[in-house]
Chain A
Amino acid sequence: MTAMDAYNFAYLDEDTKRMIRRALLKAVAIPGYQVPFASREMPMPYGWGTGGVQVTAACLTPDDRLKVIDQGADDTTNAVSIRRFFQRTAGVEVTEETEDATIIQTRHRIPEAPLQERQIMVFQVPIPEPLRFLEPRETETRRMHALADYGLMQVKLYEDIARHGRIATAYAYPVRVEGRYVMDPSPIPKFDNPKLDDSPALMLFGAGREQRIYALPPYTRVESLDFDDHPFVASKADHACDICGATESYLDEVITDDQGGRIFVCSDTAFCRSRQEDRQ
């Protein structure tokens, strides 16, 4: 008997799962709106994916195949830790292949392989409120969302352009959902933003510490905020992957020596590996 045998399927008790499930249905029905939920203390720290873990726990069935990535990689320590948590508490199958997964929990990336209709993406979100750094008060930002009053965000983006000649946001780049709610896509690089738009997969976002759940149903219109004369550009390092040669994937920069040497490699390890295998 392991320590986890004492816990319920997928760790959470049924009351908690029901509460999260009700919040998830509201989130799906109101795309981009942050539904408050009574986030629980999890056996991992706030800020380390407790929101994503609770959403995944509420969605998992015994038939699922789970993939967990952090920074695009399956083998980063926190991804390993979360994957093992669900292996132990839910006994579900796990995979590193994007195509084989039915639920993908992620921190900071969307996989390169196109998502499919039968898949659910679960994003770990640190600060779900896209207006938080412009207005720290929840009472104020809630009012702004209620009125769809996003002038403050427009002003911020415009000031960026005035100062830097471009919008100086590289990740967690705000989006507008179906022309209504402005939403934080979680700290994915803006390179990944276009993957949110019209995706065949359901996308769920969980912020544990901040007690919010939100969602993008499949085939939802998701636009990155921009201006006509400064259109959004999904940028990445202007290199090919030094391992697999991919030119269309998001790259990590790796320092290789103390002489300024560096290489660029795919941040999506499963994508990079499958390309290497194809080449052999």
Chain B
Amino acid sequence: MYVAVKGGERAIENAHAWLAKERRGDPDVPELSTAQIREQMALAVNRVMAEGSLYDPDLAALAIKQARGDLIEAIFLIRAYRTTLPRLMASTPVDTAVMAVTRRISATFKDAPGGQILGPTFDYTHRLLDFALLAEGEVPPAPTALTGPAQDMPHILSFLDRDGLIERAAPSDEIPPDLTRAPLELPADRALRLQALTRGDEGFVLGLAYSTQRGYGRNHAFVGELRIGTCPVEVDIPELGFAVEIGEIELTECETVNQFTGSKSQPPQFTRGYGLTFGQTERKAISMALVDRALRWRELGEDFTGAPAQDEEFVLSHCDNIQATGFLEHIKLPHYVDFQAELELIRSVRAAAFASREAAE
């Protein structure tokens, strides 16, 4: 006698217990603390904060630990937690021209006021495995401690702006739409696109940015400036009548200088791409700036060449890795019913095809 598979609940509980055991790994190896992850896996923490849209290094570290190092799973944990948080107030816009920089480079100018700071970068490391780290070696102290207070650090592109050589990014007091509170509506304005990109999957945005470099919507990007550092976050307290600093966050900002446009009425000007991400996440910020620029073809009067990076609906609908991974992985769920319907259909179509072939013979 056939008995249908039962016991879904017990199977789930057992799977959870097994997962917890696997997460811990060999108990003879000391357990990772979230502080260790926060301090020593900081770039993973930064990515989880950036794509999780929640600036909290401790929670990001916890998510990474719980997710066994699966960063998309960790981002998912942070997103699901973030949704439940009450919105107490909105900060005033962060001014990235006031920043305690740890890194600031320009590929367009050899020097600029404020100077170039290489900072803690992999850029010129030789990618050789450092076997000394196997032995848990302590690093020698860095020669200088660079982090000072936030200070005026003018954007390098502002020098081009002063000469009228680059398009104006006009300031606006308009309240931007909020992707997390309103359904995505297309066509989207730039503020909404940037929101989607900043929390978009690093790999996806990177791939799209790379495709523009290879000619799929090419826009000739120079990194005008890449800066990483901390900025104060302020909120307006209506009762006090002024803004109060509530903390600081680390940001990566990338401004690109792109191919110029011009017309009969307007002399040629360089154009801009923009990337801003939580933490030290410069691959993402640069990628974001390139994709942002590619998506601006319409407002800049360029042609749509059919390149994926120019296609707003394609980019915005597919850049979120939590949406993508959920829908991708859902095909693991049972589909017996639909598959059965397909089985019935293909059997009947085949039967009809055989019957008509026999009749023809």
Residues of A within 8 A of B (CB): 7, 13, 16, 36-43, 45-48, 50, 70-73, 75-81, 84, 107-109, 126, 137-139, 164-166, 168, 170-172, 187-191, 209, 211, 235-237, 242-243, 250-254, 256, 263, 265, 267, 269
Contacts and interface: CB of A to CB of B under 8 A. Distances in A.
The 4 A-B residue pairs whose C-beta atoms are closest, nearest first, are A46-B326, A47-B330, A45-B326, A170-B341
B9 A71 contact: no
A189 B327 contact: no
A84 B343 CA distance: 32
Interface in B319-343: 322-323, 325-330, 333-338, 340-343
Contacts of A236: 344
A41 B2 contact: no
A122 to B, nearest CB: 17
Contacts of B186: 138-139
A196 B219 CA distance: 51
Contacts of B82: 41
Contacts of B7: 75
A237 B7 CA distance: 27
B79 interface: yes
Interface in B1-38: 2, 4-9, 11-12
Contacts of A164: 349, 352
A209 B323 contact: yes
Contacts of B181: 38
B86 interface: yes
11 contacts: A45-B330, A46-B325, A46-B327, A46-B330, A47-B328, A72-B337, A80-B12, A139-B187, A166-B352, A235-B348, A237-B340
B183 A71 contact: no
Which residue of A46, A50, A263 has the most chain B CB atoms within 10 A of its CB atom? Answer: A46
Contacts of B328: 47
Contacts of A39: 183
A45 B72 CA distance: 11
Interface of B: 2, 4-9, 11-12, 76, 79-80, 82-84, 86, 180-187, 313, 317, 322-323, 325-330, 333-338, 340-345, 348-349, 352
Given A13-B84, A84-B9, A254 B337 contact: no
A252 B165 CA distance: 68
B8 A75 contact: yes
Contacts of A168: 345, 349
Given A38-B183, A45-B330, A139-B313, A253 B343 contact: yes
A177 to B, nearest CB: 21
A189 B338 contact: yes
Given A45-B329, A80-B9, A267 B336 contact: yes
A170 B326 contact: no
Contacts of B180: 38
A70 B323 contact: no
Contacts of A13: 84, 86
Contact of B338 (A81, A108, A263): A108
B84 A7 contact: yes
B313 A126 contact: no
Given A126-B327, A126-B330, A267 B337 contact: yes
Nearest to B3: A243
A251 B271 CA distance: 61
Nearest to A272: B4
A189 B340 contact: yes
A265 B183 contact: no
Which residue of A42, A45, A237 has the most chain B CB atoms within 10 A of its CB atom? Answer: A45
Contact of A46 (B323, B342, B345): B323
A76 B334 contact: yes
Given A41-B79, A46-B322, A46-B326, A250 B337 contact: yes
Contacts of B336: 71, 252, 267
Given A41-B82, A45-B325, A108-B335, 20 more contacts: A37-B183, A40-B83, A42-B83, A46-B327, A47-B328, A77-B11, A108-B338, A138-B186, A139-B313, A164-B349, A168-B349, A171-B337, A172-B338, A187-B335, A209-B326, A235-B345, A237-B344, A256-B2, A265-B4, A267-B337
